[in-house]
Chains A and B, each alone.
Chain A
């Protein structure tokens, strides 16, 4: 072991050899450029859907919607998940873009705002067709890129207001409510609470007794609600929660306190919340329609890849837009317990039909 061992020598040799060949280049050799827009035969299109986790019912439903669209056009979808790990998401995308990208269509849920830009730049360089949903830094413009076809998200102010109004109606238009806020530095939490404030203005007899954050968490919501129930007692007629998990936590606290006269609303339409609405313990929630989200991103990419739609023809307000969301109450909960996609939504001249306007 006195002399340099073979492995070390091999590594050093390799390094020196590479250094000798130095001549740095911007791109890896053999890297293919983008495809001619719209040059793909329908059977050559590769469809990829990527979400955080299949154990999350909403995201699993998203991928199922992608499968439904793929079946509609006679293809199959690659289902990718990254366990809510930003690094893993980037690694998967990099690897995906190193393959055949000529007719690659990606419908991606970025883990956070900061994860969107590297994905977009990668897709732009590789010539893959990309649609993103939910997360995008506000100062990045979709129109600056021609492979980033569209970004879809939902108007949190609107959903916060919808459930606020539903709550006001459920308590007869007057009385005290409490609000459970989400993680305070997220756009979703801020927007949804702004929606509640708008709803309160429209319903002057509804009084916001207290508002606390429970960080979108069921457990924290349970604890916070218990405290607030003790503090305000019977004055509380309704609970507004910024997502369903917190609403379900609040329901558990109400059950423990033996209260069944309090209306509870949330957002997201998770299965437990739908069950609660079905049996009358919860008042309302809002659905973004996960299966539609899974299909629509692939549909937009497919239409552009096959030439039925051209990027230049997509109006600027359809490049980054709010999609329609649905208020679910006891009246219509049956329509949402087993969501299905409508093939007509994915026709190329119909893909932007759910737009509620451009993201301002």
Chain B
């Protein structure tokens, strides 16, 4: 896979290698729906392994479980689209669960907004450090990850903080129309709203240009720095929202609660077919990717796959899914 194959669709010979013009061909349509196809295939496989898995209650539980991961991955997707990476999302999310649990007794229902805003502000600081000091996003957020973990441990006295007042987050455990868990509904809303804002404003071309070729984007007058800071801010705010969801589900905040969600979130982004090198991808792809990863995390053990095989299957399926979903005609360099 180290050599990218650049194949131009025969019906569209005039297209630039990295830009799609004109109507997509049938093959391109199939590729763009690949994450959904992968999701359906996985669901079918799990159902064959254990027919009880495909019940309405079981699926409801799975999408409810996926909500924090969807939100985390959605925010981080923006950073990846800009050609960066945000490794601090999980640690920032853990820190935010601690913030949330600590502030809830004083602030009540307002805590949700304050926690999300605080996480967004921390994300913005990382973005500013990245563009002003010109430090690679990988390094800034690696440092951030370490700092946030330590701060969370210190302010929480290295232990979980119980959420006694459940009224503020009780609504997250309701069901829309009887079936759709509210937390997943909120996650869908986040994906839809961010996607819509990007689509309806020049942001889409700004983000893509920054991701595909930052220097070209600068020459073309794109506000690259502002776009990047905004992406980190949204990523941070999403980590804060995911923290509220986790804290409402576990009735506590803990300095390590979300730490193990970093790799699943990155897996969700790449399984969705977003190029880790930037430019190509979308939030809805990460939504499908997050569902695939969640099904793997909860589905494999529940249908009775032994734990050693579970890890092997998880790794193999992730790699296979990325091989299927990544549209190589839009990504010229595979690093």
Contacts and interface: CB of A to CB of B under 8 A. Distances in A.
Interface stretch (A7-15, A151-159, A231-239, A243-251): A7-15
Nearest to B284: A7
A250 B104 CA distance: 45
A15 B170 CA distance: 21
Contact of A80 (B181, B261, B301): B301
Interface in A119-170: 121, 137
A114 B160 contact: yes
Contacts of B256: 86
B192 A92 contact: no
A15 B189 contact: yes
B43 to A, nearest CB: 13
Q: How big is the A interface, by class?
A: 35 or more
Chain B interface helix/strand/loop/mixed: helix
A22 B254 contact: no
A360 interface: no
A85 B306 CA distance: 17
Q: How big is the B interface, by class?
A: 35 or more
Interface in B262-307: 282, 284-285, 287, 294, 297-299, 301-302, 304, 306-307
Nearest to B307: A81
Nearest to A23: B177
A95 interface: yes
A99 B178 contact: no
Contacts of A98: 55, 57-58, 60-62
Nearest to B251: A117
Interface string A1-38: 10011011011101100110111111111111000000
Given A92-B298, A115-B250, A118-B249, A28 B178 contact: yes
Contact of A29 (B174, B178, B287): B178
A185 B177 contact: no
A113 B182 CA distance: 27
The 3 A-B pairs with the shortest beta carbon distances in the complex, nearest first, are A98-B61, A114-B160, A21-B177
Interface of B: 20, 32-33, 52-53, 55-58, 60-62, 64-65, 157-160, 162, 171, 174-182, 185, 188-189, 191-192, 195-196, 199-200, 204, 246, 249-252, 254, 256-258, 260-261, 282, 284-285, 287, 294, 297-299, 301-302, 304, 306-308
Interface of A: 1, 4-5, 7-8, 10-12, 14-15, 18-19, 21-32, 54, 78-81, 85-88, 90-92, 94-100, 112-115, 117-118, 121, 137, 185
